[in-house]
Amino acid sequence: MDKSSVKLVISTALAVSLLSLIPSTALAAGSMPAQQKKFVEIINNGAKSYEDAKTDLKSSVALRKRDKDACAVLKNLNATNWVGKITDIGANSEGKAYIQIEIASGIRVQTWSNAFSDMNDNTLIPENSKVFNAIMDGDDGSSITFSAKFIKGDKTCLKGTNLTEYFYATDPKFIVKITAAKLGK
């Protein structure tokens, strides 16, 4: 199967699964702060450019441009008072909290969920911290307003958890350190 066929199969499966989530997780663009709206627009446009690219080289260029443009919007990699829905929340074996937040359909930010992955990034949320206490009553589907610092990747200004470039481009999960949080909008 060639690259185009693989992309089509994966894109179709992803679209079908995402469509089933839209009623419960879609965020009204009107409720997003301007910085978040622009970031989401850049990520969505980058995903389209990546998928429309006819060669691996053009796909790579589209992805690097997306990240560069997104980081330009983030000013020192900081996000302030963004809104989203919690899609995963819990604690690791040390009692530190982890969280994943959907900021728009198919775009998530998250902390690492284990100490080994978090060794260099320090994103896990310490027990008894202000952020820990603020998210403690949250669960999957809870609305959240938060501020965060995006973690810089090895080769790009953003770090993702996706194992493949394709999913990093089309279904990104960015690593952040949550600096403030409040449940509800």
User: What is the rounded distance in angstroms from the CA atom of residue 82 to the CA atom of residue 177?
Assistant: 13
Q: What is the mean pLDDT of residues 109-116?
A: 97
| 162: nearest Cα among 107, 102, 85 | 107
Q: How confident is the model at residue 27 (pLDDT cuts 50, 70, 90)?
A: low
Least confident among 100-109, 136-145, 150-159:
150-159
Instruction: Write down the pTM of the prediction.
Output: 0.84
User: What is the rounded distance in angstroms from the CA atom of residue 50 to the CA atom of residue 60?
Assistant: 7
- Mind listing the pLDDT tens digit for each residue in 73-108? 998 999 999 999 999 999 999 999 999 999 999 999
Is residue 86 helix, strand or coil? Answer: strand
Question: Does 9 score more than 50 pLDDT?
Answer: no
Angle ∠(55,56,62) on CA atoms, nearest 5: 95
- Mind listing the pLDDT tens digit for each residue in 121-141? 999 999 999 999 999 999 999
Go through 14-47 and write b for each residue having 16 or more CB atoms within 10 A of its CB, e for each that does not: eeeeeeeeeeebebeeeebeebbbbbbebbbebb
The two beta strands, 97-104 and 143-150, are unpaired
- To the nearest 10 degrees (0 to 180), the angle between helices 34-52 and 56-74 is 170
State both tokens at 150: 């995006």
At 155 the pLDDT is 84
User: What is the rounded distance in angstroms from the CA atom of residue 10 to the CA atom of residue 3?
Assistant: 11
- Mind listing the pLDDT tens digit for each residue in 42-63? 999 999 999 999 999 999 999 9
What are the boundaries of each domain within the chain?
Answer: 3-183
User: What is the rounded distance in angstroms from the CA atom of residue 185 to the CA atom of residue 181?
Assistant: 10
